[in-house]
Structure formats: structure tokens, C-alpha cells
Amino acid sequence: MQVQLFVRKAKGLELTDAGKEFLDHAALIFESYENATNAAQRAHSDISGRIRIVASSAFGTSLIGAAAIHYSAKNPKLDFDLQVYPNDKIMAGQFDFDCMIFVGDPPPSNLLRRKMGDVSFGLYAGAEYIARHGAPKTHEDVNMSDAVIYLRNGLPERWILRENNASIHLSPRPKFHVNEYWMAKYLVVENCTLGYLPDFFVQREVQNGVLIPVLPELRSENTPVFVVYPAHRHRTPRIMQLIDDMCKHYQQFVSAPGYRASDMRT
């Protein structure tokens, strides 16, 4: 076209005025194509195409994996692009997506959102760890114990639980710092330390006796889980059906975090 659409700067590529105008027109063309495709799909019983799902790295892997398997079983002509990123990068608008699973309250934006459900946290330790060190029986016992600390956007997650309607802040010794719950759970399962973990995320390990709840009367406040999506995706049948599916079956997804998702295909 012999027109400069972007310039290279220290922070990366930046659109010129001509580039912004070109992008706006291209977006309208793409949206028209999407609308035409959606209209054709509404007249046909099969849903096809690609769905791009993004999840926050807190523990979104467990949710988008189960959701994609469940939905793809009912719609075999669909393809999926599944990506996991830190919360701060997701909400910075750096990625194009059809829908996103966000743990916690999303910051203000032009995106639409629907609540899928809640997660809660508790204290857990490995069975062998308990056998070696004994089970913590008081708040001070927890504070004197080694722990794995999850870093949320680079900041240590605070261990805040409730007991008899009172808020309890615990401060164990940070033996390990990690930026994902899979690593945190791994260290706890390996009997290295105590962990402050999502209850659904360790359900299987607790049932098998690998992990033991510590001070089980202490529970965190519920943390909401949302599915977030651009407003124009509201007219896309495959996206809205997926969102409906994720909200309807959320409890099934969190009861089978990455291990038994195939059981939910029917």
C-alpha cells in the first residue's frame, strides 16, 4: 500500500494514525465476516470453527482443560486454542481471545462477564510431613512452620482465613516462593512444606490420603471465578454456548481438576 502502518519504538511497535484507521476498517470487515458465519451456523445444527480461550495462570489450567474436553465432545467440529497467562498481562489487553476465565474480580473494562462460581482455600500438608513434624494445632504452630507462598502478580499471597466470623492472618516461614498453584501443590505433596491451596485443587489428593487438611475449621472467604468476553462475541453461537456450558457445569469442572475430565463427556 506504500503507507507506514506502524513505527518501532523502545517499548515495541506502535500504530501510526494511518495504521489505526486501517485497523478499525479491518476490524469491521472481520466482524462482518463473523456475523455472516454465525448467521449460517444458526441455520445449521452443527457448530464449527475455532475458539480461543485464555485463563489466568492462578489455576486456570484445571478449568479450561476440563471445559474444552467437555464442550469438544459435544461439538466435534470445533477446534480450540488454549492459553494461560498471568492476570496482569491478560487484563492489559495484549491478547486476542473469545472468552477468558478469570479468578478474582476482573478490573473495570469494556468486557462483559458472567460469574461461573467460587473457590475457597484451606491449609494442607503431606501425610509424611505430618508424621515427621506433627500436625499444627494452633495459629502459632502454623506461623512456626515452613510454607510455600504463591506470588500473585509478584506479591506474596496473604494467608487470610476465617474462624468464628473473625479474620485470621497467618504468617508462616516462606521456604518456597512460586507463581503457580501446580508447583505449590507439588511441593506440598512431596512433603516439603505447608500450603495454602484451593480446596477443589487438592480434593483428589485428600480423598487418597496423600494430603491432610490442617486446622480444617479455618476457611478462606470465597473467591469468585468469572468468564469474561468481548461484547461482540455475544452474537457468536459457539462462544455463547461454551459460556453457558462453563457456567452450568462449573461444579463438575472443579470436582475433576485435570484428572477425570473425560468422565464428563456425556
What pLDDT is attached to residue 88? 66
For 121-214, which CATH superfamily applies? Periplasmic binding protein-like II (3.40.190.10)
Strand partners, 228: 100, 113
What pLDDT is attached to residue 120? 94
Q: How many CB atoms lie within 10 A of CB 158?
A: 11
CA distance 230 to 234: 8
CATH code at 45-118+223-264? 3.40.190.10
CA distance 209 to 203: 10
Mean of per-residue pLDDT scores for the chain? 84
Q: Regarding beta strands 194-198 and 211-214, do their DSSP bridges make them parallel or antiparallel, or are they unpaired?
A: unpaired
Q: Three-state SS for 173?
A: strand
Q: Which residues are within 8 A (CB) of 18 and not within 5 positions of it... i.e. 6 or more apart?
A: 3, 4, 5
Strand partners, 167: 162
Residue ranges for the chain with pLDDT beneath 70? 11-12, 30-46, 87-95, 256-266
Mind listing the pLDDT tens digit for each residue in 142-164? 999 999 999 887 889 999 999 98
